[in-house]
């Protein structure tokens, strides 16, 4: 293994260990010494890659955002079809990313603890907003339901699912998949009230707009 390869692996090990700790304990409680112990690496190696806790947190937050951006790119094509269906799929996909990726969860925790705008606001909600705008323009929203109504609902449902996942994690309950499944069922319950009577909610061959 070359020196450069070792450096890349060492940096990745620090980011992974830090993400696991930031995810559970948050920014303020987690220390560099704890990260070194979890990674099984020396403080000297830490100082070489991340001279400060802030720089380490920046690296973890950037990694989580990068993974979310990649997930969004892959989901946008999968979420094509009727706009309201896309809103549901994108919302549930975000919850799935939070459940399955520690770096994503850590990026949300770090944004909260450090007063940054989070990836949900920066990356996900703008795309969901575009789909809601399409639904409105195509006459797919029920009478009396505005774009702002649907956008607020999408944000609150998605953030609620993320908060539930965090609470379960802190309590030592894993239940992977539970938050995304609950979110999907909530959308299934409220979607008919948001939709105009003739609005298409599925693509050809599908029985419902929710992921399996």
* Digitized pLDDT (tens) for each residue of the chain, 212 residues in all: 788 889 999 999 999 999 999 998 999 999 999 999 999 999 999 999 999 999 999 999 999 999 998 888 877 665 567 899 889 989 998 988 988 899 999 999 999 999 999 888 888 899 999 999 999 999 999 999 999 999 999 999 988 888 877 666 656 655 555 788 889 999 999 999 999 886 655 543 444 445 54
Domain contains 212: no
Residue 133: inside a domain = yes
In a domain, 50, yes or no: no
Question: Is 80 part of a structural domain of the chain?
Answer: yes
- For residue 97, being part of any structural domain is answered with yes
Asked, for residue 48, whether it belongs to a domain, the answer is no
- Measured CA to CA in angstroms, residue 191 lies from 62, 76, 139, 147, 203 at distances of 34, 20, 15, 14, 15
Q: Is residue 102 part of a domain?
A: yes
**DSSP structure string for 58-96:** HHHHHHHHHHHHHHHHHHHHHT-SSHHHHHHHHHHHHHH
Number of domains the chain contains = 1
Note whether residue 101 is domain-resident. Answer: yes
pTM: 0.82
Q: Among 127, 147, 126, which Cα is nearest to 136's? A: 147
Per the structure, the complete domain to which residue 160 belongs is given by 61-194
């Amino acid at each position: 293994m070359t020196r450069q390869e070792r450096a890349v692996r060492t940096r990745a090990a620090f980011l992974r260990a830090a993400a696991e700790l930031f995810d559970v304990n948050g920014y303020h409680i987690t220390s560099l010494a704890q990260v070194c112990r979890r990674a099984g690496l020396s403080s000297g190696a830490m100082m070489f890659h991340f001279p400060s806790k802030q720089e380490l947190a920046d690296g973890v937050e950037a990694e989580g955002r990068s993974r979310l951006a990649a997930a969004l790119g892959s989901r946008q094509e999968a979420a094509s079809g009727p706009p309201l269906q896309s809103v549901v799929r994108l919302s549930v996909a975000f919850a799935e990313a939070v459940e399955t990726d520690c770096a994503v969860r850590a990026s949300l925790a770090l944004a909260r603890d450090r007063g940054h705008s989070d990836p949900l606001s920066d990356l996900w909600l703008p795309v969901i907003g575009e789909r809601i705008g399409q639904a409105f323009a195509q006459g797919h929203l029920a009478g009396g339901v505005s774009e702002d109504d649907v956008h607020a609902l999408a944000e609150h449902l998605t953030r609620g699912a993320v908060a539930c996942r965090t609470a379960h994690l802190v309590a030592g309950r894993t239940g992977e998949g539970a938050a995304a499944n609950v979110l999907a069922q909530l959308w299934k319950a409220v979607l008919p009230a948001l939709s105009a009577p003739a609005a298409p909610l599925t693509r050809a061959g599908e029985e419902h707009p929710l992921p399996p």
